[in-house]
Chains A and B, each alone.
Chain A
């Protein structure tokens, strides 16, 4: 009984940011009641993340080290693997950048302008999430492939990859910017105008900094999705080594020629890059976010 209470107090104290000596300031009754619930929550989340995310990642890392550190380093730095990594990162960066601009613009139009058919356009944004990506690839191939009805051939080019990935990652920036834009008070822009700021100055100095955390986080998600994408590029990309072969295709190829360790090693490299990117973007985004948050 006493140990249970002791444990609860430890939990309350350790989870509240300003650490207080245990027992010196007894937690209010509401808090004490919530503590066991919180322990349960943390436990469930820990278990779930372990089973779904951490264990597979750990297994992957172990698999990649089957031939030792040197072996996996060799696998990652082989010219073909490096080329695939380079292509993937380059194309994903371009797509993320394009998304950050176009996604913000689309969100702006959807929130600020009113035109007939707007709800339909709004619903359309999520479609890339609902469509199997292979279907996107087929559609893009029939539109921009060798028999293109509009005379634009993008198959087996990096432009083809960019178009496919831009389609798949469209919703991320739009959907993260939209709610922030809805929350943004018009009065703030009016205040800037009353102080003499032109529309473009207001956008640059007032609106954009407010949207920045949302744009950054949306762009990060789009980048991560593009890095790992397989289905939508498999047909239109053409899988040309050193040209349009992306990492996911390279990995698939390694598995097909029975080199699972190489596949695992490259996967781990890809994971590390993605995780680092997401982590840095999140840190950057949350720093600008923190200033704006209401503390009251």
Chain B
């Protein structure tokens, strides 16, 4: 369990952390999600001791570590750009934390072999970091951090420097790894997809404050405010209500749109809108519309639905939000 209370940090005039309170339960995988400059990295580095807070307390496993250097916090830290020791082999990189603790050679060897197998780098132990791909380097960095049996594992944008396919692979791999080793993990990311994909808890940060903390589903479905709502996925404004683009029904037939059934529970009024563009994005189709009030919005429909209706640009259809998301409608108890 990690507890951060009243954390405050200024860089000159810039307020990076503004009285942040956060609890991270043991064994969880928590994502700190926010745009750049939101203070998420500063918060992570403050937990690690790589950044000193102007005020506030950081506790790891019930011990106040606010004044301890990173060496004595029992952490493992993984950086965006790997921070590999370039003059050492993969084996020596992973073994670093153990060799400087002067552990017996046999123990180091056993532990390193075990970790290299877990991260899928066995057979590459004699390579140098320069001879590894980005994804392999990051897995090496992860093994290196895990070698010292940290109480908490801190990951600062760990997949940020990798290309899209490697990133998706690696985050699913990280999720599986976490399910295996169960070490309390905090992950910083600006990618809401990544947070929704791997984390079991998400803390959304903005301008040095925590906007909302919760599990991915409740954050997506019941955002505490406009910021959380728009940051966790795209939103459309329809008849004055905010709605996720996939929660809009479109049809030429007014009666179909108005029908109130389980698929489309009761919700505010119908808007008629002109289709400006139909974009096929693989398994889904984005329809860009312009309401008769002049407002532009986009709806997301399935490919099957698009094939059935065969919308073309220029025609006028009816649209209705099935699950409006307005912050005011949500449960205020979720807000921090």
Contact = CB atoms under 8 A, between A and B. Distances in A.
A185 B133 CA distance: 19
A192 B96 contact: yes
B97 A196 contact: yes
Contact of B71 (A198, A212, A296): A198
A294 B72 CA distance: 33
Contact of B130 (A209, A212, A293): A293
A44 interface: no
B107 to A, nearest CB: 16
A291 B100 contact: no
Interface string B72-84: 1001110101011
A187 B83 contact: yes
A195 B100 contact: yes
A191 B130 contact: no
Contact of B96 (A185, A195, A198, A294): A195
Contacts of A210: 86-87
Interface residues of A, number: 25
Contacts, number: 76
Contacts of A291: 86-87, 128, 130
Interface residues of B, number: 30
A190 B77 contact: yes
Contacts of A195: 76, 96-97, 100, 144-145, 147-148
Contacts of A209: 87-88
B297 interface: no
Contacts of B147: 195
Interface in B35-76: 48, 50, 69-72, 75-76
B143 to A, nearest CB: 12
Contact of A196 (B79, B141, B148): B148
A197 B96 contact: yes
A188 interface: yes
B90 to A, nearest CB: 12
B87 A185 contact: no
Contacts of B75: 194
Which of B87, B144, B147 has the largest number of chain A CB atoms within 10 A? B87
A209 B84 CA distance: 13
Interface in B133-148: 133, 141, 144-145, 147-148
Interface of B: 48, 50, 69-72, 75-77, 79, 81, 83-88, 96-97, 100-101, 128, 130-131, 133, 141, 144-145, 147-148
9 contacts: A187-B81, A188-B83, A191-B144, A192-B85, A194-B48, A195-B96, A196-B71, A210-B87, A291-B130
Given A187-B83, A196-B97, A293-B130, 17 more contacts: A185-B81, A187-B81, A191-B85, A193-B50, A193-B71, A194-B71, A194-B77, A195-B76, A195-B100, A196-B100, A201-B100, A206-B85, A212-B87, A291-B128, A291-B130, A295-B130, A296-B133
Q: Please give me the 4 A-B residue pairs with the lowest Cβ-Cβ distance, nearest first.
A: A195-B97, A194-B77, A191-B83, A187-B83
